[in-house]
Every structure is written in C-alpha cells, then in structure tokens.
C-alpha cells in the first residue's frame, strides 16, 4: 500500500511540475506544439541547411528540430524557457555533440552567429521578435517560421519579394522562409 501511495505522490508531483512548466512557456512566449518530423525535415531542406552551419531553434520544445538539424550536419542550439522541456531535450540529446540546449528566454538570445533560425511561435510573439530578427541576423541568414508569417516593417532588411521570402505548404502547415539581405 505504501509503494502505491509513493508512486501516486511522485506521479502527481511530476504532473504538477509539468503543468507549472507549461505555464512558464505560455507566460514567456508560446505554448508547446509538437511538430511532425517530416515537416521539420522539409523545412530545413527548403532553407538549404548545410553541414557545419549554425542552427538555432527558438523555443526548441522536445528537441525534434535540433535532432533533424544535426542529421544535416549542422551545429544545432536550442533555446527553451520551460524547465520540463529543457530537461527533456537535454536528456534526449545528451549524446550528440552537435546539439546544445540552453535554458534561456529567446528574447535574450544573440542571433548574430546563426546561419538558420527556426521558430514555431504564435503570431503575437513573432511580431515582438521581428525587430530582433532584422537587427541581429547576419547577411545571408535564413529564418524559418512554421505556421505563421512574420510581419516586418516596410523598411525591413527582409524583402517581401518572392526571391527573399518563400511560402510553402508542408503537411497542412504554412512554412515561411526569409533570407536576410543586409
């Protein structure tokens, strides 16, 4: 009986901590949404991710995009504010030397070294980050936004012309790929 009570208590505590962790995600940005592996793979392929490039995932969740980017040969870094998903991703990726997971608010991440930035965030949060993308991404950097377009100002360094922004539909999701042209 004591073993069952201990098990139920530990399970309830884990469930409580997971819910608190989800609230942290919602409060500081976006809630977790699982992305399909094929969606991630095709997004990285369309962004032409290459071996040796630096890949950032803003709000990496369970680390699926980091694992896919590492398969391309990229040096992948994920940023996560949710304690649960940060620890889960660290556990999933601890053996891969090309994957790094950082517990950090994505508003505080320096994007200047990234070749490709991947984000699956809500439109309100993307709007808050749009000026950060404009200021910090280096020339030639690609920005992948799954699900929602990013609204940039008219004098943005991101062009809205077809040669600089591509819009694809993958597995019933819109995928927007922007290329920085400073």
Give the pLDDT band of residue 9 (cuts 50, 70, 90).
Answer: confident
Beta-carbon contacts of 169 under 8 Å, excluding residues fewer than 6 positions away, are 175
Q: Is the pLDDT of residue 166 over 70?
A: no
Beta strands in the chain (DSSP E): 54-58, 75-80, 99-103, 116-119, 142-146, 165-170, 173-179
Q: Which domains does the chain show, CATH number per domain?
A: 2-179 (3.40.50.150)
Q: Mean of the pLDDT values across residues 54-59? A: 96
Q: Is the pLDDT of residue 149 over 80?
A: yes
Structure confidence at residue 28 (pLDDT) = 62
Structure confidence at residue 71 (pLDDT) = 96
For the whole model, what pTM was predicted?
0.83
Q: Mean of the pLDDT values across residues 133-147? A: 92
Q: 60-77 pLDDT, tens per residue?
A: 989 999 999 999 999 999
Partners of 110 in beta bridges: none
* Residue, of 47 and 172, whose pLDDT is higher: 47
Structure confidence at residue 122 (pLDDT) = 87
* Residue, of 83 and 64, whose pLDDT is higher: 64
Give the pLDDT band of residue 100 (cuts 50, 70, 90).
Answer: very high
Partners of 80 in beta bridges: 103
What's the rounded Cα separation, in Å, for the pair 81 and 78? 10
């Amino acid at each position: 009986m004591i073993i069952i009570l201990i098990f139920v208590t530990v399970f309830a505590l884990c469930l409580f901590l997971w819910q608190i962790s989800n609230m942290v995600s919602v409060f500081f940005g976006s809630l977790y949404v699982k992305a399909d592996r094929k969606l991630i793979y095709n997004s990285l392929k369309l962004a032409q991710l290459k071996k040796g490039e630096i890949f950032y995932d803003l709000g990496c969740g369970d680390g699926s995009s980091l694992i896919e980017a590492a398969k391309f040969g990229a040096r992948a870094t994920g940023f996560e504010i949710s304690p649960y998903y940060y620890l889960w991703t660290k556990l999933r990726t601890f053996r891969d030397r090309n994957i790094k997971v950082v517990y950090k608010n994505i508003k505080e991440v320096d994007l200047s070294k990234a070749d490709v930035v991947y984000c699956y965030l809500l439109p309100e949060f993307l709007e808050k980050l749009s000026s950060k993308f404009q200021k910090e991404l280096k020339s030639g950097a690609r920005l992948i936004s799954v699900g929602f377009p990013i609204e940039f100002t008219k004098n943005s360094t991101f062009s809205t012309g077809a040669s600089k922004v591509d819009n694809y539909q993958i597995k019933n999701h819109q995928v927007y790929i922007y290329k920085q042209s400073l």
